[in-house]
Homo-oligomer: A and B are copies of this chain.
Amino acid sequence: MRMNEGVEWALHSCLNLAWIGPGRAVTAARLAAYHELPAAYLNKQLQALVRAGVLTSASGPKGGFRLARDLDRITLMDVVTALEGPEEAFRCTEIRQQGPGAAPGAGPAGGRAPECAIAGAMGRADLAWRRELAAQTLDSVRERAERQAPDAPDRIRRWFANVA
């Protein structure tokens, strides 16, 4: 059970976009170059964020990506869901209703069987995870990052300004 690597890339890119400022769009190539990532693949991840409404994109010269809203209105949950999909990690395949020993009354087609106790338990854990993800905004992450490296915003702003 391994999370898509693009989640890390996307989160860093969102923070970088915020530090650069909403003034202008930044291309996927620039964002990728900053961390030496494959540009086309990062582009793919950013597309997913656009579909999810976290970023906006523009084609052509002076085009690129920019944040669709402020960091304090973007949660970790938004980014993870955009890239990993809405489904939870544990997928109940209802094997309890398969095989010779399955309960006769509650067939898969018959329906209205109460939720599998195992799926319910795993679902509670998943819910706790999502709750924590939704409780943390990218702005809170940015705040912690700046506390650890106060010079980061300036350094990043300057680097992107020079390259552009």
Contacts and interface: CB of A to CB of B under 8 A. Distances in A.
A105 to B, nearest CB: 9
A69 interface: no
Contacts of A12: 95-96, 118
Nearest to A89: B3
Assembly stoichiometry (copies) = 2
Contact of A33 (B5, B90, B100, B155): B100
Give the size range of A's interface with the partner. 35 or more
Interface of A: 1-5, 7-9, 11-12, 15, 33-37, 76, 84, 89-93, 95-96, 98-101, 103, 106, 114, 116-118, 120-122, 124-129, 131-133, 136, 140-142, 144-145, 148-149, 151-152, 155-156, 159
